[in-house]
Amino acid sequence: MAPMDPTTDHDPADETSTLRRGKTVRLLVPVGVAGVAAATIGLVPALASSGGSPHPDLPKTSAEKLLTKLAASDVQTVSGTVKITTDFGLPGLLGGSASHARGGSPFGPGPDASKAASEIAKSASSADPSFKLTELVAGSHTLRIAADGPDRQRVSIVEDAAEYSIIHSGDEVWAYDSGSNQAYHAKAPAGHGKHGKAGDERGRLPEGVPTTPSDFAKQALKTVGPTTSVTVGSTTRVAGRDAYRLVIKPKQSGSTVGSIVIAVDADNGAPLKFTLTPRGSGKAAVDVGFTDVGFAKPATKNFRFTPPKGTKVTEAKDRPREDHGLPGGPLNGLGNRLEGFNAVGKGWTTVAEFKLPGGGLDGSVFKEDGKDVPGGLDPQSLLKSLGDKVHGDFGSGTVINSRLFNVLITDSGKVYAGAVTKDVLIAAADKS
Amino acid sequence: MSTAEERVAVTAAPVAARPRGLRTLGLFRNELVVTFRRWRTLALFAILAGIPVVVGIAVKIETSDGGTAGGEGGGPAFISQITNNGLFLVFTSLAVTLPFFLPMAIGVVAGDAIAGEANAGTLRYLLVAPAGRSRLLLAKGWAALVFCASGVLVVTVSALATGSAMFPLGDVTLLSGTSISFSEGLLRALAVAAVVTVSLIGVAAIGLFVSTLTNSGIAAMATTVGLLITVQILDTIPQLHAIQPYLFPHYWLSFADLVRDPVYWDQIMRNFGLQGLYLAVFGSAAWARFTTRDITA
């Protein structure tokens, strides 16, 4: 054996011991490599997330100054990658059907849900933006955005080996779904979007779920009032940029919102990250932030789209604009049929109150224009499986819980909903 | 096996006079010749070359009535774009062959590298030549990697030929909706082929390591391919999401990120890192095992 071994060029006397020692050392090499790799994997995320100093030294600022900075921010051009993670803790079926368009895993939505979803999908083009954007309600998604002033923006949802893009340039809006090779085309209404704040950059895109940090920030700022505490938190780094953290907390008890944190770019005041954490929970319900951002002017070709040959193009019908506010897919149009809509309470504990169409739980809410939505869902048993039975002065009803929103549906057909605790909903029901 | 003896004769005779670097090069060249001369290798290439043709014909038939392939986003990646541009057949073919055909072929070649020689009783003759075990392993490893690249190239070229024969070519619309010229699209296709080749390094390293463990070529091949299938299944079970980022096939489909605009590097870089990790761990394990084991066959 010995002559065949390359390690033994020495005296035959040393041979055996050298060989044995060499053997042990060599066998340790792969173990060492694996160990170093494991240690690196353990350490790198911690280092990468901090990206140097986790709390950069920035001049002190007040909440008011920071708000002004945020509002006055005049960032016209931006491009980057946005990571959006939502975890509302929706009951399984709802979450499942919201993410139907990914096809679902073998362990995903049950046959009923996916069947209903695919029926719904057939009724609309899969490239229809208001439909597609509802996907963002569940799970984690990567978006890539680019904006050049109020007239040209694009947003892409990165999918496995496919991408869904909405491209707005001038008065043209294109949506392109590379997965199904379908496109959607609409003319943006003229005269809209003249005000060119960064926060409005998606203003002329078909509205749906807010997707950029600016949208979320604006929404949160609307609710700032006497019911709210606004403070400046510790500094942070987002996508390699120094940022202040604006911490917004409801003062009222009864709200399920724990805190809203907006990371504001220390340099230009652009919102970089938005985090909404439910009360009494460490994990964010909504987390939208840039993982990569640049404020240089994006290339013009980013906003140009010509449907490739063979692509099926759906032209938008002249839809009334009110419709856009409710990106409910199958629930679109439900809003028109709601009777007695009423907002109860103030600030963070506002409860929306309305009547189910048709009075009671006879299932008519699950019908579209008199026809059953396919899938064979029995509303009564569905409700029972999703919620808990509650009783109060109002009678009895079912509460559907999620981490952020709670909904009370009384047996008499009234609905109370809000980002509030169950007790607030019951109190609101008792009062009316 | 006459080829192995031939090879021993080639390497052994002039070796003493040549510098070490050239010796490794000679060994490597011999490995290549032996690998690519085998009927088995040629048969694998023939299968790989056939897949794009089959996919192309299937798409042609399905769309002959004016419909779109893949319908509502079903089917393998990129399949709905093939009718727009034949270049997409390259991407579809790579997406189809990457999960199984390509790694299986690599598993066969890498798994057989050492174990096959031991099985045929030719390993000790190879080691009689003063080339050294480390360098023999290195030569085997390089040959396996060249085989990876050739396999991917065979799929790419076959897909390109089929695509240009059956479907229109022209400006390429990327996944993001922006258009690039055909020549730029061709460059992207080459880059995709390169990324796919790199994706296969992990399998090659595992195959080579398994190959040093046993004296049976068949056992090594079966273990490698079996491991490949097992890991792919593990990668689809949602409950195992915590370990999935460390499974070697996890980022394989990231080559599609090269067809976005701008290119989305995040996953591609992770893929590179992961393949490098597998190469380091299993490559060093193969080296440790091969240089310390008793060669009896």
What are the DSSP calls for B86-139, one per residue? Answer: TTHHHHHHHHHHTTTHHHHHHHHHHHHHHHHHHHHT-HHHHHHSTT-HHHHHHH
- Report CA torsion sign: B158, B163, B165, B169: negative
Q: What residues of chain B lie within 8 A of the CB of A107, using their CB?
A: 237-238
What total number of domains does chain A contain? 3
Pair (A36, A110) in one structural domain = no
Q: Which two tokens stand for residue A314?
A: 């759906």
Q: How far apart are CA A76 and CA A257, in angstroms?
A: 31
The domain boundary, picked from A301, A324, A347, lies at A324
* Cβ-defined contact of A309 to B80 (cutoff 8 Å): no
Q: Which of A289-298, B66-75, B124-133, B188-197 has the highest mean pLDDT?
A: B188-197
Q: How far apart are CA A293 and CA A241, in angstroms?
A: 9
Pair (A103, A130) in one structural domain = yes
Pair (A37, A69) in one structural domain = no
Domain residue spans in chain B?
2-292
Q: How far apart are CA A30 and CA B233, in angstroms?
A: 26
* Cβ-defined contact of A105 to B134 (cutoff 8 Å): no
Q: What residues of chain B lie within 8 A of the CB of A165, using their CB?
A: 176-177
- Directed axis angle between helix B265-292 and helix B201-213, to 10°? 20
Length of chain B: 297
Q: What residues of chain A lie within 8 A of the CB of B210, using their CB?
A: none
Residue B176 is nearest to which of A161, A163, A308, comparing CB atoms?
A: A163
Q: How far apart are CA A275 and CA A263, in angstroms?
A: 9
Pair (A300, A160) in one structural domain = yes
The pLDDT > 90 percentage for chain B reads 54
Strand blocks (E) in A284-338: 286-294, 312-315
Pair (A340, A246) in one structural domain = no
> Do the domain assignments include residue A50?
no
Pair (A153, A244) in one structural domain = yes
- Name residue B294's amino acid: D
Asked if the model's pLDDT at residue B123 lies above 60, the reply is yes
Token pair 């996944």 is found at: B175
Do residues A115 and A104 touch, judged by C-beta distance below 8 A? no
For chain B, what is the mean pLDDT? 86
Q: Which two tokens stand for residue A182?
A: 């379908």
> Do the domain assignments include residue A12?
yes
pLDDT of amino acid A43:
72
- State the virtual CA torsion across B139, B145, B147, B150 in degrees, nearest 10: -130
Asked if the model's pLDDT at residue B194 lies above 80, the reply is yes
* Cβ-defined contact of A305 to B178 (cutoff 8 Å): yes
pLDDT of amino acid A358:
55
Q: How far apart are CA A189 and CA A186, in angstroms?
A: 9
Pair (A338, A320) in one structural domain = no
The residue among B164 and B9 whose pLDDT is bigger is B164
- Nearest residue of chain A to residue B132 (CA atoms): A6
Q: Which two tokens stand for residue B14?
A: 């002039």
The domain boundary, picked from A269, A299, A324, lies at A324
- For residue A156, what is the domain's CATH number? 2.50.20.10
Q: How far apart are CA A407 and CA A409, in angstroms?
A: 6
A416 secondary structure, DSSP code: E
pLDDT of amino acid A117:
41
B226 touches chain A (CB under 8 A): no
Q: N- to C-terminal Cα distance for chain A?
A: 94
Q: How far apart are CA A88 and CA A107, in angstroms?
A: 20
Q: How far apart are CA B248 and CA B102, in angstroms?
A: 14
Phi and psi dihedrals of B65, rounded to 5? -90, 15
Asked if the model's pLDDT at residue B11 lies above 50, the reply is no
pLDDT of amino acid A322:
41
* Cβ-defined contact of B70 to A81 (cutoff 8 Å): no
Burial call B53-80: b when 16+ CB within 10 Å, e when fewer: bebbeebeebbeeeebbbebbebbbbbb
- State the virtual CA torsion across B254, B203, B218, B292 in degrees, nearest 10: 180
The pLDDT > 70 percentage for chain B reads 88
* Cβ-defined contact of A161 to B95 (cutoff 8 Å): yes
* Cβ-defined contact of B178 to A144 (cutoff 8 Å): no
* Close Cβ partners of B6 (under 8 Å, ≥ 6 residues apart): none
* Cβ-defined contact of A6 to B281 (cutoff 8 Å): no
pLDDT confidence band for B131 (50 / 70 / 90) = confident
Q: How far apart are CA A52 and CA A61, in angstroms?
A: 22
- Nearest residue of chain A to residue B284 (CA atoms): A30
Asked if the model's pLDDT at residue B224 lies above 60, the reply is yes
> Do the domain assignments include residue A47?
no
pLDDT of amino acid B199:
95
| Model confidence pLDDT, tens digit, residues B33-71 | 988 888 989 999 999 999 999 999 998 888 776 665 555
Q: What residues of chain A lie within 8 A of the CB of B71, using their CB?
A: 180
Q: What residues of chain B lie within 8 A of the CB of A311, using their CB?
A: 84, 173
Do residues A132 and A206 touch, judged by C-beta distance below 8 A? no
A136 secondary structure, DSSP code: G
* Cβ-defined contact of A308 to B282 (cutoff 8 Å): no
Pair (A344, A309) in one structural domain = no
User: Which domain does A21 fall in, by range?
Assistant: 2-41
* Cβ-defined contact of A181 to B287 (cutoff 8 Å): no
Residue A156 is nearest to which of B176, B277, B287, comparing CB atoms?
A: B176
> Do the domain assignments include residue A254?
yes
pLDDT in tens, chain A (432 residues): 444 444 444 444 455 666 667 778 888 888 888 888 888 777 766 655 544 557 788 888 877 778 778 877 778 889 999 999 988 876 544 443 333 333 333 333 333 333 444 444 444 456 667 666 677 777 888 999 999 888 888 989 888 888 889 898 888 888 888 888 888 888 866 544 433 333 343 334 444 455 566 666 666 666 566 678 888 888 888 888 899 998 888 887 888 888 889 899 988 888 899 999 988 777 888 899 999 899 988 888 888 888 887 788 888 765 444 444 334 444 444 444 556 677 877 778 888 888 876 544 544 444 444 444 444 456 666 666 777 888 888 888 888 888 888 888 888 888 888 888 888 888 888 877
The residue among A268 and B131 whose pLDDT is bigger is A268
> Do the domain assignments include residue A54?
no
Q: How far apart are CA B75 and CA B57, in angstroms?
A: 15
* Close Cβ partners of B222 (under 8 Å, ≥ 6 residues apart): B111
- Nearest residue of chain B to residue A40 (CA atoms): B277
- Nearest residue of chain A to residue B243 (CA atoms): A41
Size of interface A-B (CB pairs under 8 A): 135
Q: What residues of chain B lie within 8 A of the CB of A306, using their CB?
A: 173, 179
pLDDT of amino acid A48:
56
pLDDT of amino acid A198:
37
Count other Cβ atoms within 10 Å, centred on residue A32. Answer: 12
Phi and psi dihedrals of A111, rounded to 5? -60, -35
Mean pLDDT of B269-283: 93
Q: What residues of chain B lie within 8 A of the CB of A310, using their CB?
A: 68, 83-84
Pair (A308, A380) in one structural domain = no
A47, β-bridge pairs? none
